[in-house]
Structure 1
Amino acid sequence: MKRLPLAAILAAFFIFLILEVSVRQSVLLLVGVGMGAALAGARFGFTTGWRQLIEQRNPQGVTGQVLLLALASLAALPLLGQFSELHAALGPPSVSLLVGAFVFGLTMQIADGCGSGTLYKAGLGVPLNMGILPLFALGSFLGSVHLDSWLALGQMAPISLTDQLGTSGALGLTLALLAAVLVATRLWVGADQTWFDKRWMVGAVALAVLATINLLLAGQPWGVVYGFGLWAAKGAVALGLFDPAGNGFWGQAGNAQRLTQTVLMDVTTITNIGILGGALWVSAKAPADSKPLTTQQWVIGLVAGFVMGYSSRLAFGCNIGAMLSGISTGSLHGWIWVPMAFAGTLIGVRVRRHYQF
Structure 2
Amino acid sequence: MSVQGSKSQVPLAAIATGLLALVALGAYSEAGPRQAAATLIGAVAGLSLYHASFGFTAAWRRIVTERRGAGLRAQFVLILLTCAVSFPLLVWGRTLGWPAGGFVFPFGVAAALGAFMFGAGMQLGGGCGSGTLFTAGGGSTRMMITLAAFVLGSVAATAHFHLWARLPKLPPVSLIREFGPHGAFLLTALVLGGLALVTLHIERKAHGEVAPGRPTVSLLKGPWSPMLGAVMLAIVGIATFVVVGRPWGITSGLALWGAKVFQALGVPVDTWPYWTWQRSALENHVLRDTTSVMNFGIMLGAMFAAALAGKFTPVWRLGRRDVLTALAGGLLMGYGARLAYGCNIGAYLGGLVSGSLHGWLWLVFGFLGSLLGTRLRIKLGMG
Give the TM-score of the pair, scaled to structure 1.
0.94
* RMSD of equivalent CA atoms: 1.8
Change in 2 beyond 3 A, CA 1:305/1:13: closer
- Residue 230 in structure 1 maps to residue 256 in structure 2: yes
Q: State the AA in 2 paired with 1:328.
A: V
- Equivalences for 1:172-251 in 2 at 5 Å? 172-190=186-204, 192-194=209-211, 196-198=213-215, 199-247=225-273, 249-251=274-276
The yes-or-no answer on 1:280 pairing with 2:297 is no
Q: Which residue of 1 aligns with 2:350?
A: 325
- Tell which deviates more after alignment, 84-93 or 6-15: 6-15
Contact 1:323/1:338 (<8 A) preserved: yes
1:336 partnered with 2:361: yes
Deviates more, 1:40-49 or 1:347-356: 347-356
> Which residues of structure 1 form unaligned runs of 5+?
none
Determine whether 1:300 maps to 2:325.
Answer: yes
Separation in structure 2 between the aligned mates of residue 354 and residue 294 of structure 1, nearest angstrom: 17
Q: 1:83 aligns to what SS in structure 2? A: helix
Match of 2:147 in 1: 133
**Cα distance in 1 for residues equivalent to 2:239 and 2:306:** 24
Contact 1:35 1:210 in 2 (8 A): yes
Q: CA deviation at 1:234?
A: 2.0
Aligned residue in 2 for 1:123: 137
CA distance in 2, matches of 1:195, 1:83: 39
Q: Quote the sequence identity (%).
A: 35
Unaligned regions of 5+ residues in structure 2, if any? Answer: 1-10, 216-224
- State yes or no: 1:164 paired with 2:178: yes
In the superposition, relative to structure 1, how do residues 239 and 325 fare at CA in structure 2: closer, same or farther (>3 Å)? Answer: same
User: What is the aligned counterpart of 1:22 among 11, 24, 32?
Assistant: 32
Question: By how many angstroms is 1:245 displaced?
Answer: 4.0
Instruction: Give the distance between the partners of 2:76 and 2:113, measured in 1 at CA.
Output: 24
1:135 maps to amino acid: A
Number of residue pairs matched? 354
CA distance in 2, matches of 1:319, 1:120: 14
1:238-293 per-residue CA deviation (whole Å, 9 max, x = no partner) reads 3331243451x2222xx111111111111100100000010000111332678864
Aligned letter for 2:190? A
Q: Identify which range, 341-350 or 140-149, moves more after superposition.
A: 140-149
What's the counterpart of residue 283 of structure 2? 260
Matches within 5 A, 1:33-52: 33-52=43-62
CA distance, structure 2, for counterparts of residue 19 and residue 88 of structure 1: 27
- Once the two structures are overlaid, the 10-residue window that deviates more, 15-24 or 54-63, is 15-24
Question: Is this contact kept in 2: 1:227–1:266, CA < 8 A?
Answer: yes
SS at match of 2:275: coil
How far apart, CA to CA, are the structure 2 residues paired with 1:139 and 1:202? 33
| Mapped partners of 2:91, 2:144: distance in 1 | 39
Instruction: Letter of the 1:192 partner, please give it.
Output: E
Which residue of 1 is the match for residue 4 of structure 2? none
Q: Name the SS for the 1:2 alignment partner.
A: helix
Q: Of 49, 64, 81, which residue of structure 2 is paired with 1:54?
A: 64
TM-superposed CA distance for 1:75, in Å, is: 1.2
Q: Could you state the TM-score of these two structures normalised by the residue count of structure 2? A: 0.88
Q: 1:290 to 1:32 in 2, by over 3 A?
A: same
* Counterpart residue number, 1:95: 109
- Whether the 8 Å contact between 1:90 and 1:159 is mirrored in structure 2 is yes
Change (3 A) 1:112 1:290: farther
Aligned-partner residue type, residue 23 of structure 2: F
* Structure 2 counterpart SS, 1:240: coil
Displacement after TM superposition at 1:20 (Å):
4.4
